């Protein structure tokens, strides 16, 4: 079974500063990894995903993430944040097998990013 | 783009009522999911369905049931609503066993009084 740990529940930053949201996962098989963003009172929106290939993945809104297999991490980064990036961010993992529980994504508990002026 | 539509954004129900939450997706996805989201607990899977009339329990199925009579529609049923079921409920769908991730609806915020 896989699990996801988001190391920070809250991350406050100032506008135009860089940010990194940390995510570690545990899985006994190859994985697919995702980052979602949730704005207040809305559903989750896919930011980016890692399926295979290049370990640096670029997503929407200027975000990127790096898959590090040896450290079982998939940290999300943005070089310069805006007020509009204030939201909750969720990391998720899907195991690499087929059938049964591999249909499911396992989510971290989320990181609330607050961008201050 | 795939659209997942949840029938209500906000719902207030009384304790003991039977509650139906409806979810419809328009892109022929095989898999559909119901999660509840609570502060500090993240997303917890209630039930999922990988085909019409098929369902599997998630991590917290107690007090809930589901129905999937048609591929595009997945209903969550609270048999007898209780105050501890006050929560945000999120529906999602996926293609190809979730390899590309999920598409989520906007959520239903349910308050049981």
Q: Domain map of chain A by residue range?
A: 3-116
User: In angstroms, rounded to a whole number, what is the distance separating the alpha carbons of residues A16 and A33?
Assistant: 27
User: In angstroms, rounded to a whole number, what is the distance separating the alpha carbons of residues A47 and A33?
Assistant: 11
The pLDDT, as a whole number, for residue B93 is 94
State which residue of chain A sits closest to B43, comparing Cα positions. A107
The residues pairing with B44 across neighbouring beta strands, listed in sequence order, are B36
Residue in A44, A45, A49 nearest the CB of B100: A49
Ramachandran quadrant class, A16 (left: phi over 0; alpha: psi -120 to 50; beta: rest): left
Superfamily per CATH, domain A3-116:
Immunoglobulins (2.60.40.10)
Q: Which is nearest to A101 in space by CA: B58, B104, B67? A: B58
Contacts of A94 in chain B (CB under 8 A): 98-99, 101
**B48 and B34 in contact (C-beta within 8 Å)?**
yes
The pLDDT, as a whole number, for residue A53 is 86
User: In angstroms, rounded to a whole number, what is the distance separating the alpha carbons of residues B84 and B81?
Assistant: 8
B42 touches chain A (CB under 8 A): yes
Residue in A46, A98, A109 nearest the CB of B101: A46
The pLDDT, as a whole number, for residue A104 is 80
- Widest CA span in chain A: 47
Is the CB of B104 less than 8 angstroms away from the CB of A43?
yes
Mean local confidence (pLDDT), A24-46: 88
Mean local confidence (pLDDT), B62-89: 96
Q: Which residue has the higher pLDDT, A82 or A101?
A: A82
B39 touches chain A (CB under 8 A): no
A3 touches chain B (CB under 8 A): no
How do residues B13-66 score in pLDDT, each as one tens digit? 999 999 999 999 998 898 999 999 998 888 999 999 988 888 999 989 999 999
Q: Which is nearest to A109 in space by CA: A7, A27, A39? A: A7
**A3 and A101 in contact (C-beta within 8 Å)?**
no
Which domains does chain B possess?
Answer: 17-97 (2.60.40.10)
Q: Which is nearest to B92 in space by CA: B40, B39, B47? A: B47
Is the CB of A41 less than 8 angstroms away from the CB of B107?
yes
B58 touches chain A (CB under 8 A): yes
Bridge-based pairing of strands A106-107 and A87-95 is antiparallel
Does residue B88 surpass a pLDDT of 80? yes
Is the CB of B99 less than 8 angstroms away from the CB of A94?
yes
């Amino acid at each position: 079974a896989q699990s996801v740990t988001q190391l920070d529940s809250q991350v406050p930053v100032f506008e135009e500063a860089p940010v990194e949201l940390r995510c570690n996962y545990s899985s006994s098989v190859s994985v697919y990894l995702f980052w979602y963003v949730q704005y207040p009172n809305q559903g989750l929106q896919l930011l980016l995903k890692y399926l295979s290939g290049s370990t640096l993945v670029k997503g929407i809104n200027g975000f990127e993430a790096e898959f590090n297999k040896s450290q079982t991490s998939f940290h999300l980064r943005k070089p310069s944040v805006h007020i509009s990036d204030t939201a909750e961010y969720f990391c998720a993992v899907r195991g690499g097998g087929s059938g049964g529980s591999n249909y499911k994504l396992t989510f971290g508990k989320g990181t609330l990013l607050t961008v201050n002026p | 783009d795939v659209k997942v539509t949840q029938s209500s954004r906000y719902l207030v129900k009384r304790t003991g009522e039977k509650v139906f939450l409806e979810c419809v997706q328009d892109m022929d996805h095989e898999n559909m999911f119901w999660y509840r989201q609570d502060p500090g607990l993240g997303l917890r899977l209630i039930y999922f369905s990988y085909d019409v009339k098929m369902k599997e329990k998630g991590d917290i199925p107690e007090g809930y049931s589901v129905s999937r009579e048609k591929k595009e529609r997945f209903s969550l049923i609270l048999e007898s609503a209780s105050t501890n079921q006050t929560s945000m409920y999120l529906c999602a769908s996926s293609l190809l066993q979730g390899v590309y991730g999920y598409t989520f609806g906007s959520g239903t915020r349910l308050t049981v009084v």
